[in-house]
């Protein structure tokens, strides 16, 4: 996915926490269970989760309506969620339908990762996760300053979401954090330092805020910049186990790998070549997979029948996660071969960063 650098106030946190929302929507700051964690801080915020759930359900509704009228919806389509049709009272149904209609009309056709309005909305909802309202009617400090009807619509939908979906989704988010926290504790500092060294930059001094949500986007996770924030789905099959660690560091690399994008752009301009649209992103996928290989890629077991020969070294990631369906459209197979030939030697310490980028761009 292509990400936009957006300017919004940076939210800082004094401790690493998992924000857990209790019945009236107020977020309590509690330890993850493993003490302060390096690199990331995890949040399961009520408003951010409600926002993404409405977006997810609205896209599913738009896709369903489009199929019924024979047209094709634009952009990736999220699959409808099983069991997301509880029995609502007439009052609840009215509030929920209004929210769904608003999201279907205003947001469903927009990209969460690049649309400025959606990025700013997500960041604002995260910053106000400790509030049980968004319009400041009860408490002036809880006026999130949201544009248009977003605030009142989310406030009206909040009791419905809280009663029927939020408890299960929040528990799923907290379970996910509990499982990934030991990996972050054990591997976080070393992995962040290694990736920063590869990209010839520094890892952010502030811990990276991760919004843990039941639903994210079609890719299962996305990143927005300035401030750097990662949103990741706790229920997506691609974000489980050690793969969760790979997803987290891949998403964080969208910020620290800017020197690579700058270098690729520079080389292309010097050679009067068009800038390859996805080469930078493919490089991030490849690098993260290679760096995390000892952690996430176990060697295959030895064969039975007395074969005690050492298992073969795992092959490079031929298909980065969430991209198997678009490789043929975007030419990522070719990028993978070029990365093996010209970027891997840099990872192995055999050539310089500048030479690797130059050879890579020359071969595109």
**Structure token pair of residue 76:** 């990736």
Count of residues in the chain: 364
Q: Is 223 helix (H, G, I), strand (E, B) or coil?
A: strand
pLDDT-derived band at 251 (thresholds 50, 70, 90) equals very high
Across the range 25-31, mean pLDDT stands at: 38
Average pLDDT score, the chain: 80
- Whether residue 1 is predicted with pLDDT greater than 60 in this model: the reply is no
The pLDDT tens digits of the residues spanning 293-325 come to 887 655 333 333 333 344 333 344 433 343 333
The pLDDT tens digits of the residues spanning 271-288 come to 999 998 889 988 998 899
Please, where are the H alpha helices in the chain?
46-69, 90-106, 116-127, 150-164, 166-198, 242-256, 258-270, 279-291, 293-296, 327-330, 332-338, 344-347, 353-363
Q: Which residues of 189-221 are buried (b: 16+ CB within 10 A; e: fewer)?
A: eebbebbbebbeeebeeebbbbbbbbbbbbbbb
The reported pLDDT for the residue numbered 77 is: 40
Query: Got the DSSP string for 142-205?
Result: GB----TTHHHHHHHHHHHHHHHTHHHHHHHHHHHHHHHHHHHHHHHHHHHHHHHHHTTS---S
Nearest C-alpha neighbor of 215 from the set 184, 159, 176: 176
Across the range 250-264, mean pLDDT stands at: 93
The reported pLDDT for the residue numbered 242 is: 87
Cα 164 to Cα 166: distance, rounded to the nearest angstrom = 6
The pLDDT tens digits of the residues spanning 98-114 come to 999 999 999 999 999 99
Q: Are 192 and 249 in contact (CB under 8 A)?
A: yes
The reported pLDDT for the residue numbered 33 is: 53
How much of the chain exceeds pLDDT 90, in percent? 60
Entry pTM: 0.78
The reported pLDDT for the residue numbered 4 is: 40
The pLDDT tens digits of the residues spanning 130-142 come to 999 999 999 999 9
**Structure token pair of residue 230:** 């990662």
The pLDDT tens digits of the residues spanning 183-216 come to 999 999 999 999 999 999 999 988 999 999 999 9
Cα 30 to Cα 104: distance, rounded to the nearest angstrom = 35
CB atoms within 10 A of CB 340: 15
- Whether residue 46 is predicted with pLDDT greater than 90 in this model: the reply is yes
β-pair type (229-233, 221-224): antiparallel
The pLDDT tens digits of the residues spanning 47-97 come to 999 999 999 999 998 887 766 544 444 443 444 454 456 788 899 999 999
């Amino acid at each position: 996915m292509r990400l936009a650098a957006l300017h919004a106030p940076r939210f800082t946190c004094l401790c690493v926490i998992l924000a857990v929302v209790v019945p009236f929507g107020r977020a309590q700051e509690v330890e993850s269970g493993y003490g302060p964690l390096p690199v990331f801080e995890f949040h399961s915020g009520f408003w951010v989760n409600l926002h993404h759930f409405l977006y997810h359900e609205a896209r599913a509704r738009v896709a369903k309506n489009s199929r019924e009228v024979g047209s094709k919806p634009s952009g990736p389509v999220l699959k409808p969620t099983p069991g997301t049709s509880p029995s609502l009272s007439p009052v609840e149904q009215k509030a929920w339908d209004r929210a769904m209609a608003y999201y279907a009309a205003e947001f469903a056709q927009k990209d969460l990762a690049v649309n400025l309005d959606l990025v700013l909305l997500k960041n604002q909802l995260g910053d106000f996760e400790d509030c049980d309202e968004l319009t400041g009617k009860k408490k002036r400090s809880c006026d999130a300053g949201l544009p248009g009807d977003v605030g009142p619509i989310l406030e009206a939908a909040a009791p419905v979401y809280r009663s029927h979906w939020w408890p299960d989704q929040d528990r799923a988010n907290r379970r996910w954090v509990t499982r990934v926290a030991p990996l972050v504790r054990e591997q976080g500092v070393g992995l962040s330092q290694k990736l920063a060294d590869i990209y010839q930059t520094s890892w952010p001094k502030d811990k990276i805020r991760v919004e843990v949500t039941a639903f994210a986007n079609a890719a299962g996770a996305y990143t927005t910049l300035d401030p750097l924030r990662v949103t990741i789905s706790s229920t997506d099959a691609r974000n489980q186990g050690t793969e969760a660690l790979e997803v987290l560091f891949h998403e964080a690399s969208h910020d620290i790998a800017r020197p690579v994008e700058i270098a690729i752009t520079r080389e292309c301009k010097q050679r009067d070549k068009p800038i390859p649209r996805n080469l930078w992103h493919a490089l991030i996928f490849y690098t993260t997979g290679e760096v995390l290989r000892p952690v996430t890629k176990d060697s295959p077991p030895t064969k039975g029948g007395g074969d005690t020969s050492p298992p073969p070294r795992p092959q490079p990631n031929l298909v980065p996660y969430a991209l198997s369906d678009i490789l043929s459209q975007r030419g990522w197979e070719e990028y993978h071969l070029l990365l093996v030939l010209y970027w891997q030697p840099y990872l192995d310490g055999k050539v310089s960063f500048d030479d690797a980028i130059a050879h890579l761009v020359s071969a595109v």
